[in-house]
Amino acid sequence: MEAEKLEFFNPKVPLDFQYNNRVGIGIERYLRGLGERKILGSKCPQCGKVAVPPRTVCGKCSATMGEFVEVSQEGTLENFTVGHVQLVKGQRLEKAESPYVVGLVRLDGVDSLLLARISGVDPSDLKVGMRVKAVWRDEVQGDYADLDHFQPA
């Protein structure tokens, strides 16, 4: 495309929309559980699969999951990556202050994997298959940040 002598202007549109999203019963119970230093999942009445965080529909068999179960706080590190960047506001890629680890943990007895931060270990010592356990924030409030990270068990 040729660069045309175009006249345009670049307005800043001062509109930031805020959406009010209800979290739904699954996440609500999960967060309340976190406030008690418990990890809750949902169990499928049909196939028995356990999902964390809880869902209301089973991913495998589409049955309605109404049963909440407390699950183990220990599990296996199935996968992880070391992050050197941060996505700020979902837009800008910036260098992270220091490398951090994002892992996928299979809690004992749970079929789905939980995405969580892994700390308390040098990234070079991490191994897929190692046992990890949940570490809570000092003061829990029934919020997403209560489950702070997982560390080697």
Partner 1 sequence: MAEKVAVVAFKLACAPDLHTTRERLVFNLTRGLFDELGIDRHAIDSFVMNSNDFLDGRTISTVFLDAPSGAYLKDETKVEMDGVHAVMYGWMRIMSGQYETALVVSLALTGSQVSPYVYTQYSLSPAYERQVGLLNELSGAALQAKAYLSRRGYSEELLDLVAAKDLELAAKNPRQIRRLENAGVERVRSSGPTYEPLRELHCYPPTDAGCVVLLASEKKAAELTDKPVWIKGFGSSIDTYFFGERDLTRSPSAADAAKRAFSMAGLTDPAREIDFAEISALYAHEEPLLAESMGLLPEGEAEKAYRAGDTRPGGSLPINPSGGSLGAHAPCVGGLMRLCEAVLQLRGEAGDLQLDGARTALVHGQDGICAQQNGVVILGV
Partner 2 sequence: MEETRIVHGYWELSTFNFNIEARGINLMLEGFKEKKLKGIKCHQCGMVYLPGPFYCRKCHVNIDEPVEISDHGTVRTYTVQYADIRGEPMPEPRVSAMVQFDGCDSWVMGVVQCDPKDIHVGMRVKIKWKEQTVGNMQDMEAFVPE
Query: Choosing among partner 1, partner 2, none, which partner's interface includes residue 79 (Cβ < 5 to 8 Å by kind)?
Result: partner 1
104 binds, options partner 2, partner 1, none, Cβ within 5 to 8 A by partner type:
partner 1
Residue in 18, 97, 122, 139 binding partner 2, rule: CB under 8 A: 18
By CB under 8 A, which span of 11-19, 47-55, 67-75, 124-132 interacts with partner 2?
11-19
For residue 55, the partner it binds in partner 1, partner 2, none, with Cβ less than 5 to 8 A by kind, is partner 1
Contact, 108 vs 72, CB < 8 A?
yes
Answer whether 123's CB lies under 8 Å from 130's CB: no
Is 1 a binding residue for partner 2 by CB under 8 A? The answer is no
Q: Per rule CB under 8 A, is residue 93 in the interface with partner 2?
A: no
CA distance 112 to 105: 9
User: Interface with partner 2 includes 17 (CB under 8 A)?
Assistant: yes
Residue 127: exposed, middle, or buried by beta-carbon count in 10 A (0-12, 13-18, 19+)?
exposed
Neighbours of 138 (CB within 10 A): 6
* Shortest distance, position 147 Cβ to partner 1, whole Å: 9
**Beta carbon nearer to partner 1, 6 or 122:** 6
Query: Do strands 147-152 and 131-136 pair parallel, antiparallel, or not at all (unpaired)?
Result: antiparallel
**Whole-angstrom distance, CA of residue 71 vs CA of residue 102:** 21
Q: Rounded distance, CA 124 to CA 140, Å?
A: 30
Footprint on this chain of partner 2 (rule: CB under 8 A): 6-25, 27-28, 31, 89, 91
